[in-house]
Amino acid sequence: MTTIEEPTVPPPVRPDMRALVRELATARRRAEDGPGPDATRAQRAKGKLTVRDRLDLLFDPGSFREIERFRRHRSSGFGLEHRRPATDGVVTGWGTVSGRTVFAYAHDFRIFGGSLGEAHAEKIQKLMDMAAAAGAPLVALSDGAGARIQEGVTALAGYGGIFERNVRFSGVIPQISVMLGPCAGGATYSPALTDFVFMVRGVAQMYITGPDVVRSVTGEDITHEQLGGAEVHATVSGASGFVYDTEQECLEDVRYLISLLPSNNREPAPPVVPSDRPDRRCERLVDIVPADGARAYDMRAVVEEIVDDGEFFEVHASWAENVICALARLDGHVTGIVANQPAVLAGVLDIHAAEKAARFVQMCDAFSIPLVTLVDVPGFLPGRDQEHGGIIRHGAKLLYAYCNASVPRVQVVLRKAYGGAYIVMDSRSIGADLSFAWPTNEIAVMGAEGAANVVFRREISTALDPEAVRAKLIEEYRTSLMHGYHAAERGLVDDVIDPADTRRVLIDALGTLRGKHAQLPLRKHGNPPT
């Protein structure tokens, strides 16, 4: 009888945990290294940091926790099936900034030019949902070439999901966009929907259509920088609130801004123990601000004198410079400051100034940051360009923002406060909780010269010496209706104060109002002017 031998079956290979851990470490390192040294050298040759360098600058050392590191796209066609790098061109996760949790996503330009595909978008959308659920700020480090053309409509749908979340979480968590590379087409709308936009000169651009399309359609020959560079958006379009020469400076100020903002709309902005005395007198103010309303001065010097340690963080410093919008601390508490700037266009309100201030007021109100308004305004800028450009609509934006704001609001009238511009700059009549004025205040429908020319037109025109009569009537009008106590006598100013006491008065007022609770009417939402 023949014996048939059973084939030898090799024993099962038991997994070696240490080998698997070593394999994991290798895979993680490869994902972090990206596509290789050549791509990294090319990134640095453009004057740009890598995605990991940027995250290291943004977050506290060792605090960043990445998620979906091994995510890859599932697309095929146009060669994509042969190129499936880990991360799919975007790094997502969270860490701490000065000890507070912050979420961030950062495009990796070395992978598909940072372009957005389906998997890329899903990673961002998941992170946005997590940030909102955790009630923590969200930072986007943008360095991408827009939608991934090879993925077609799914890439566009990915952007739609991001835009929808930008809107849904607006006023819920702070959203900050940091532009560190190109941003074209539909991709520009996400930064436009966020609360703050930072840009770096020479490396960041934003535009709907690039120079090639502009050239083919209009014949205009224009460079990337001229069309949508950082300087353009910081000074002309107003799309960027901050501009820097280096990424290091930019990300340092992103960290500083986060320190001034609450984590979400249910928490106050974090206070600090002040090193500046709350009762410090501001004696320099009487020298900074001339009593003569026709003389200019720099309102920044006033703000610097009033706030803690002279430190404030100005938004849109190079755009619509006739109004100042800044975050600062008073007695350690974050405060939003809106102020006319007499050093630029005499401090008048125009289209851009109204837009700039309105958005800032809305942001402060959304995140429960109290508002201080420093008024020295001769009116709205007159002229056909302003009227045809929609100064009525744009001025109404600022009016709407203040009227809608439920945070503590304190107004200080330094000198001129004329006409509708006085009302719009958070007067008592539109809901300011408290209004204070310096002895130099002039609150009136218009300046004495213009008022006299209108009210006393007949008397002046029929006088034997029109100029002498005009001068006499101007002085009479100023004495009767524009003296420093006229508004206080009518209850429209709560107190006339010594300019040197401005800091103390503001700190006391804001401390009193800190527990303010406004009962708003039930509604889905308002319909603000656009």
Start-end of H helices in 285-383: 285-288, 299-306, 351-366
CA distance 221 to 215: 6
Residue of 421, 444, 448, 452 with catalytic role? 421
For the question of residue 144 being annotated catalytic, the response is: no
Residue of 113, 135, 186, 238 with catalytic role? 186
Q: Which residues partner with 176 through β-bridges?
A: 139, 196
Instruction: Of 148, 147, 146, 128, give the one whose Cα is nearest residue 138.
Output: 128
Contacts of 89 (CB under 8 A, 6+ apart): 107, 108, 111, 112, 113, 114, 115, 116, 117, 120, 144
Tell me how far apart the 2 most distant CA atoms of the chain are, in Å: 148
Residue of 152, 171, 185, 238 with catalytic role? 185
CA distance 132 to 128: 6
Contact predicate 326/303, CB 8 Å: yes
In total, the chain counts a number of residues equal to 530
Query: DSSP label at 169?
Result: T
State which amino acid sits at residue 396: A
DSSP 78-92: TTGGG---GGGGEEE
For the question of residue 186 being annotated catalytic, the response is: yes
Whole-angstrom CA distances from 16 to 20, 27, 175, 307 are 6, 17, 45, 62
Q: 478: how many CB neighbours lie within 10 A of its CB? A: 17
Counting Cβ atoms within 10 Å, is residue 21 exposed (0-12), middle (13-18) or buried (19+)?
exposed
| Local structure of 38: helix, strand or coil | helix
Burial 234-249 (b: 16+ CB within 10 A, else e): bbeebbbbbbbeebee
Residue of 202, 332, 390, 420 with catalytic role? 420
For the question of residue 185 being annotated catalytic, the response is: yes
CA distance 296 to 347: 9
CA distance 146 to 142: 10
Q: 257: how many CB neighbours lie within 10 A of its CB? A: 21
Instruction: Of 498, 380, 348, 480, give the one whose Cα is nearest residue 436.
Output: 498
Contact predicate 347/302, CB 8 Å: no
Start-end of H helices in 261-368: 285-288, 299-306, 351-366
| Local structure of 177: helix, strand or coil | strand
Burial 333-349 (b: 16+ CB within 10 A, else e): bbbbbbbbbbbbbbbbb
Residue positions annotated with a catalytic role: 185-186, 420-421
